[in-house]
């Protein structure tokens, strides 16, 4: 049983299902709809698989105009809408409700324009991250954000959650790599934010939209930065006798003013599982492993790796191995990129996403182990160590009564710890339903009230991605069309 509650469905919308289907079919054609039980069930959950709910129907538009028509109808008919990309969300961000339609943009996956001189690409939001990089690779360019799911995840989901990836240490997360957006509001209005230029006058509305988890509008197009690829890149492996020592080494590398492309961390349980799956050549006799990658010319790479090795030696690594060639590098990254899937082969897991100051890394890793051990749960730590974005994977058995609730309780305590040490609830996975009821740990009632008022401006009826981000008891009351805290309601 889960500790996370979902609101009761609007039975009126459920009863009107046949009418809603006919109305939307008249707007975009029946071929764009999935209405059968088996088809809808494929969309009942996302990568946070402990929760599931079959939606009223699924709509797969192909154009911005079709999205506009669908949203205008849903606004007029008070039908809830769950925007969705590929459904790889790890926080329940794309989880539907029984009284909502799923609006999936996966068929909107075209590259509309590439401008190498000005270093941008204009794409539809249903495209995958990797497809953008593959398209521009022939000219020596790439799109930087690279979540482990980049082969499957869509730009739409990345925009919703402000996703990052292994190389965000140097290149930043999604918001740092987007120049413009086309977004459809709940009343069908289509707006353009930013564009193919570096600066935009007025309010920074793009920062509202990116990371808003589909609650302000549905993004159908984006103008993204494409970057010139470096001459080369090479990772090295550093293995340590304790997680605390590995964490201290990470802090020392950053403190020295070195910004690698990536610093990835795996603990002993994760190393063993990833090695068994990918045969990457990871050492099995260490408690913690760092993958540190640098890039540049051959001379730059050699100089940086030499400096990092000098720093690492102060922490007595058991393993220090520099990639010998491109095949070796590919194996090293194959193990890290397949980590979540490799863990999933042996256990159910609950993946957390807190972010902490680097100086607190050693302390937090110790406490994570203690928190899970206190509940008789195992944990595998795999995360972006360079920017303090933690991904503890709490292992549990979903078929065993009480195990899901135990894993959630451990996860909540870990996230509270992240906030306590000066970090935050999420780095790239978003809030969704997973962290919704923890938002008051990080934000005051006034903070959340201001955020909810902003949502009410864009979505007065709160029809877009409902029951996400904000605690249910905080977002239910309404006064003058603006959501407020229950404690403020007269």
Which candidate, 328, 351, 348, places its Cα nearest to that of 278? 328
Judged against a pLDDT cut of 50, whether residue 320 lies above it is answered with yes
> What is the rounded CA–CA span in Å between residue 148 and residue 168?
12
Each residue of 55-109: pLDDT tens digit?
999 999 999 999 999 999 999 999 999 999 999 998 999 999 999 999 999 999 9
Each residue of 195-221: pLDDT tens digit?
988 777 888 899 999 999 999 999 999
Which residues of the chain does CATH 3.30.70.3450 include? 232-340
Each residue of 297-316: pLDDT tens digit?
999 999 999 999 999 999 99
Which residues of the chain does CATH 3.30.70.2740 include? 347-437
Token pair 């899937």: residue: 341
> What is the rounded CA–CA span in Å between residue 339 and residue 38?
30
Each residue of 354-404: pLDDT tens digit?
999 877 887 898 899 999 999 999 999 988 888 889 999 999 998 999 999
Q: No. of H helices and E strands in the chain? A: 18, 20
Q: Tokens at residue 25, please?
A: 């079919």
Mean pLDDT of 33-42: 97
Judged against a pLDDT cut of 50, whether residue 489 lies above it is answered with no
pLDDT at residue 3, rounded to an integer = 63
CB 169 within 8 A of CB 155: no
> What is the rounded CA–CA span in Å between residue 150 and residue 85?
12
- C-alpha 336, offset from chain centre: 17
The 10 Å Cβ neighbour count of residue 472 is 16
Judged against a pLDDT cut of 80, whether residue 478 lies above it is answered with no
Q: Tokens at residue 184, please?
A: 């459809």
* DSSP three-state, residue 6: coil
Each residue of 38-59: pLDDT tens digit?
999 999 999 877 788 999 999 9
Q: Tokens at residue 450, please?
A: 């201001």
- C-alpha 50, offset from chain centre: 17
- Beta-carbon contacts of 425 under 8 Å, excluding residues fewer than 6 positions away, are 353, 354, 415, 418, 419, 431, 435, 438, 439, 441, 442
The yes or no reply on domain 111-228 and CATH 1.10.357.10 is no
**Cβ neighbourhood burial of 302 (10 Å; 0-12, 13-18, 19+):** middle
For 172, phi then psi, to 5°, come to 85, 175
Q: Which of residues 341 and 83 earns the better pLDDT score?
A: 83
pLDDT at residue 484, rounded to an integer = 45
Mean confidence (pLDDT) of the chain: 91
CATH no. of 232-340:
3.30.70.3450
pLDDT at residue 490, rounded to an integer = 35
> What is the rounded CA–CA span in Å between residue 388 and residue 77?
44
> What is the rounded CA–CA span in Å between residue 103 and residue 67?
8
Measured torsion, CA atoms of residues 443, 156, 460, 3, in degrees rounded to the nearest 10: -50
pLDDT at residue 154, rounded to an integer = 95
R_g over Cα of the chain: 23
CATH no. of 11-104:
3.30.43.10
Which residues of the chain does CATH 3.30.465.10 include? 111-228
Q: Which of residues 150 and 134 earns the better pLDDT score?
A: 134
> What is the rounded CA–CA span in Å between residue 293 and residue 304?
10
> What is the rounded CA–CA span in Å between residue 333 and residue 329?
6
> What is the rounded CA–CA span in Å between residue 480 and residue 476?
13
Q: Tokens at residue 94, please?
A: 């794309």
Fold topology of 347-437: Alpha-Beta Plaits (3.30.70)
pTM score, whole prediction: 0.91
CB 462 within 8 A of CB 454: no
Each residue of 408-467: pLDDT tens digit?
999 999 999 999 999 999 989 999 999 999 999 999 999 999 999 999 999 999 999 999
Which residues of the chain does CATH 3.30.43.10 include? 11-104
Max distance between CA atoms of the chain, in angstroms, equals 69
> What is the rounded CA–CA span in Å between residue 289 and residue 382?
10
pLDDT band at residue 1, thresholds of 50, 70 and 90? low
Beta strands at 141-142 and 227-228: parallel, antiparallel or unpaired: antiparallel
> What is the rounded CA–CA span in Å between residue 105 and residue 87?
11
The 10 Å Cβ neighbour count of residue 150 is 22
């Amino acid at each position: 049983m889960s500790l996370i509650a979902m609101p009761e469905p609007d039975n009126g919308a459920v009863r009107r299902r046949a009418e809603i289907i006919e109305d939307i079919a008249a707007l975009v054609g029946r071929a764009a709809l999935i209405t059968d039980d088996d088809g809808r069930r494929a969309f009942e959950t996302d990568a946070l698989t402990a929760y599931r709910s079959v939606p009223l129907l699924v709509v797969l538009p192909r154009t911005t105009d079709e999205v506009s028509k669908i949203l205008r109808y849903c606004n007029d008919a008070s039908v809830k809408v769950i925007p969705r990309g590929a459904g790889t969300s790890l926080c329940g961000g794309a989880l539907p409700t029984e009284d909502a339609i799923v609006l999936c943009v996966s068929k909107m996956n075209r590259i509309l324009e590439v401008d190498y001189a000005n270093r941008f690409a204009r794409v539809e939001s249903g495209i995958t991250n990797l497809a953008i990089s593959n398209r521009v690779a022939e000219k020596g360019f790439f799109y930087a954000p690279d979540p482990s799911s980049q082969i499957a995840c869509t730009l739409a989901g990345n925009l919703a959650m402000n996703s990052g990836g292994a190389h965000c240490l140097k290149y930043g997360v999604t918001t740092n790599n987007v120049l413009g957006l086309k977004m459809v509001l709940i009343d069908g209005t289509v707006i353009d934010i930013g564009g193919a230029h570096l600066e935009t006058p007025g309010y920074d509305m793009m920062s509202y939209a990116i990371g808003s988890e589909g609650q302000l509008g549905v993004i159908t197009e984006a103008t993204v930065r494409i970057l010139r690829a470096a001459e080369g890149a090479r990772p090295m492996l550093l293995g340590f006798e304790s997680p605390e020592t590995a964490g201290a080494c990470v802090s020392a590398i950053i403190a020295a003013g070195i910004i690698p492309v990536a610093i990835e961390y795996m603990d002993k349980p994760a190393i063993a599982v990833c090695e068994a799956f990918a045969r990457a050549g990871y050492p099995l006799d260490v408690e913690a492993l760092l993958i540190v990658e640098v890039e540049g010319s051959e001379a730059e790479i050699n100089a940086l790796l030499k400096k990092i090795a000098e720093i690492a030696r102060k922490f007595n690594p058991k393993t220090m191995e520099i990639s010998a060639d491109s095949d070796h590098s590919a194996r090293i990254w194959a193990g890290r990129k397949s980590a979540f899937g490799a863990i999933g082969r042996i256990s159910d897991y609950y993946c957390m996403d807190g972010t902490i100051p680097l100086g607190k890394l050693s302390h937090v890793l110790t406490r994570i182990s203690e928190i899970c051990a206190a509940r008789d749960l195992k944990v595998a730590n795999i995360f972006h160590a360079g920017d303090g974005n933690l991904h503890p994977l709490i292992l549990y058995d979903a078929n065993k009564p009480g195990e899901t609730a135990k894993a959630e309780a451990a996860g909540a305590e870990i996230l509270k710890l992240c906030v306590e040490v000066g970090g935050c609830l999420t780095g790239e996975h978003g809030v969704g339903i997973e962290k919704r009821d923890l938002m008051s740990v990080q934000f005051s009632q006034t903070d959340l009230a201001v955020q909810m008022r902003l949502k009410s401006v864009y979505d007065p009826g709160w029809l877009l991605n409902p029951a996400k981000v904000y605690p249910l008891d905080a977002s239910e009351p309404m006064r003058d069309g603006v959501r407020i805290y229950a404690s403020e309601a007269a």
